[in-house]
Amino acid sequence: MAAAKGSIASRFLRLVDDWWLAFAGVAFIVGSDFKYRTRPPGQALGGGIDSAILIELALYAVVAGYLVLDRFRVPKLRRVPVPLFLAACLVGLAVLSIGYTPYPQYAVVRCLQATILLGAVVVGCMDGGRAQFHRFAHLYLLLIAAGVLYGLARPSPPINAIQEGRFTWLAVHPTVSGAMTGLAAVVAVGYVAGGRKDRPGPRWSAPTYWVLLAIVAGGALAAQTRGAILGAVCGAGVVILSSRRGRALIEIALVGLVLLAGVAILASQQITTYFERGEDAAQLTSLNNRTELWDVAFEAVKEQPMFGNGITASRGIFYAETGLGGGHNAIVNVLVELGIVGLVVWAAMVLSLILGVRRLPKTGPRNLALDRALLLGVITFILVDSIFYEGAGSLANFASTWLFMSIGWYVVALRSARSAVAGPTTEAVGSDRPAAVPA
């Protein structure tokens, strides 16, 4: 009996050791974006706390407690990869802005959450391998598929006329649910296109990935979030193009062009109606009032150009002037909250991540083709969707979680590539044991 108990305990500890980063990332997303009630931005900015906020804080606190009690050790860093260093600088700027933001209580919460996220990514880089991040991607797929199925079983009534006819689940705004499903579709395409490529982490059957792709892609289309759909198409295209070479690439491109041409000819009117979403010409011309909101943003930037108005300030500024919370554009959001300095750091972080991922090897002893394609697709989606949604330019949401996780994924992939060049490594397929500290 003792041996059996010991075996169960050891299996549980192994499960926690293997999946902790995946559960942490999903916990961040559930806490920040899986809303089951709505409240106006003004109430959030006032620092009001209800059960939903308590659950969100509790999820982050559990991850922070695990990191401190079970994973804490002083990092022995020789060289910090540029994207990871810039991510730390961005969080540092956000923390410093608490001193002058008009909403310090709200800002403190968001900065604590961003610090916990950054801490989880750093620990994942030190103690984990590529398998940890593949597990996060798989668990995210299951989470979003479950959200879509729940939304089908328990339809969510629209909060206002703008959301009429758009799919979501719980009380998640269709813009957010559309973006989450769109990104999940890009991830699913990556594993479908990856096929039997050698990699660590979960390896599910091809039909499983196809079913998940159908569920999340269907949810993305039903949400009618235009920026997310455009991002998903671009991201999936980047994944496919990055996964194939030579003749296979040419064949896929030709087939795609033929299919797109056929759809455009046969369903052009239906597509136009779909993307209009019942809005009039004035709304479409102003990108559903986003251009007016961005005019307000530039006035705010003129007042505090260098270091911005402080983290979370954009929600209050836009809510006071337009009744909308958030910048509805990542660059605008960063510029309003952290100024030119913050925008330079954010842009440099994203650019260095893209350049670094593009340099990852597609062939050789450590084949990183799938990791490379997935990361490029995810980053493409985030950037395209960021034109209409501020997620990646703010803190504590699914987009910023994925952006930081992508940085950690790149760090361990880079280490894997370097260890393959240097010689034998202890990181076997399916293993999380790194060959060295992040470099």
More confident residue, 294 or 96: 96
Taking alpha carbons only, the member of 278, 296, 320, 253 closest to residue 103 is 320
Taking alpha carbons only, the member of 160, 390, 161, 392 closest to residue 294 is 390
Residue identified by tokens 């880089």 is: 125
Phi, psi at 15, each rounded to 5°: -60, -45
Q: Is the pLDDT of residue 1 over 60?
A: no
More confident residue, 47 or 305: 305
Q: What is the pTM of this model?
A: 0.84
Q: Which of 116-120, 246-250, 340-344 has the lowest mean pLDDT?
A: 246-250
Taking alpha carbons only, the member of 180, 53, 68, 76 closest to residue 116 is 68
The most confident of the ranges 49-53, 108-112, 279-283 is 108-112
Q: Specify if 2 maps to a domain.
A: no
What total number of domains does the chain contain? 1
Q: Using the 8-state DSSP alphabet, how is residue 69 labeled?
A: I
pLDDT of residue 91: 96
Q: Which pLDDT band holds residue 201 (cuts at 50, 70, 90)?
A: confident
Q: Is the pLDDT of residue 366 over 80?
A: no
Q: Specify if 305 maps to a domain.
A: yes
Cα(390)–Cα(327) distance, rounded to whole angstroms? 6
- What would the pLDDT profile of 372-413 be if each residue is shown by its tens digit? 999 999 999 999 999 888 889 888 899 999 999 999 999 999
Q: Between the CA of residue 307 and those of 92, 206, 264, what are the distances in Å?
A: 12, 48, 46
pLDDT of residue 49: 65
More confident residue, 60 or 363: 60
CA angle 27, 30, 31 (to 5 degrees): 80
Q: Specify if 68 maps to a domain.
A: yes
How many CB atoms neighbour CB 165 within 10 A? Answer: 12
Q: Specify if 438 maps to a domain.
A: no
Q: Specify if 8 maps to a domain.
A: no
Q: Which of 73-87, 104-118, 288-302 has the lowest mean pLDDT?
A: 288-302
- Segment 325-347 shows an average pLDDT of 86
Q: Specify if 296 maps to a domain.
A: yes
- What would the pLDDT profile of 27-48 be if each residue is shown by its tens digit? 999 999 998 876 655 555 555 5
Q: Which residue range forms the structural domain that includes residue 107? A: 20-422
pLDDT of residue 258: 47
Amino acid occupying residue 215: I
Return mean pLDDT, the chain.
Answer: 80
Q: Specify if 7 maps to a domain.
A: no
Cα(338)–Cα(357) distance, rounded to whole angstroms? 26
Q: Is the pLDDT of residue 167 over 80?
A: yes
- What would the pLDDT profile of 124-137 be if each residue is shown by its tens digit? 988 878 999 999 99
Q: Specify if 439 maps to a domain.
A: no
Q: Which of 105-119, 281-295, 333-347 has the lowest mean pLDDT?
A: 281-295
Residue identified by tokens 């620990």 is: 123
